[in-house]
Structure 1
Amino acid sequence: MRILPVLFLAPALSACSVASTAVDVVTLPVKVVSSGVDAVTTSQSEADEKRGRAIRKEEERLGRERRALEDRCRKGRARPEDICPQ
């Protein structure tokens, strides 16, 4: 007698998994297209972050060059194109 309720629940459980699989199959193309569009496009915040990184990198490079120039001027090894403060 205890097996009888289990037999009635078995089709209901498999129907849920079939419905879940059907939903997954239907939504898969939408997910693929949206992730493809997201990979190709750049949001404004991503563009701002990229520009900020580029600016910081350029400022670091200029700082290194300025320190190297000051070092050359201080040690008396200035190049002809260097403009050393007197």
Structure 2
Amino acid sequence: MRALPFLTLAAAGLSLSGCVVGAVADVVTAPVRVGSKAVDLATTSQSEADEKRGREIRKREEQLGKLERRYGKELRDCQDGDRGACAKAQLTYREMQTLTPAIPVEPEPED
């Protein structure tokens, strides 16, 4: 009769030791997991850098397109005799010239 409580206590001790070992392992590995997460957040992968660069290039291309449309309108107004439009067209052209070097040129396809 006395063996039954002893066996129950022994079985409970073995099962709890697994929980304790698991908890200790979680506590020990927590700093490593936190550190690796911080490093992952602090670094940028090559694909993330490429995506960011692509977004920046598209944004510059859109801005250049807007400037080209505005320049065309100002140039037409200038040709119609509007001196103010001529001055605006010059400023827009300068802005286009400063933006153009920041946009990469696509290489010509080889035949």
Fold conserved between structures, TM > 0.5: yes
Q: CA RMSD in A?
A: 2.6
1:64 aligns with 2:66: yes
- Structure with the bigger RCO (C-alpha within 8 Å, sep 6+) is 2
Shift of 1:43: 1.1
- Answering whether residue 30 of structure 2 is matched by residue 28 of structure 1, we say yes
Greater Cα shift, 50-59 or 38-47 = 38-47
Structure 1 unpaired stretches of 5+: none
Task: In structure 2, list runs of 5 or more residues that go unmatched.
Answer: 91-111
Counterpart for residue 86 of structure 2: 79
Alignment of 1:9-20 (within 5 A): 9-20=11-22
Q: Percent identity?
A: 45
Aligned length: 81
Letter of the aligned partner of 1:70 in structure 2? G
Please report the TM-score for the alignment, with normalisation by the length of structure 2: 0.58
TM-score (norm 1): 0.72
The AA in structure 1 aligned to 2:66 is: R
Contact kept in structure 1, 2:71 and 2:89, CA below 8 Å: yes
Runs of 4+ in structure 1 over 4 Å off: 3-9
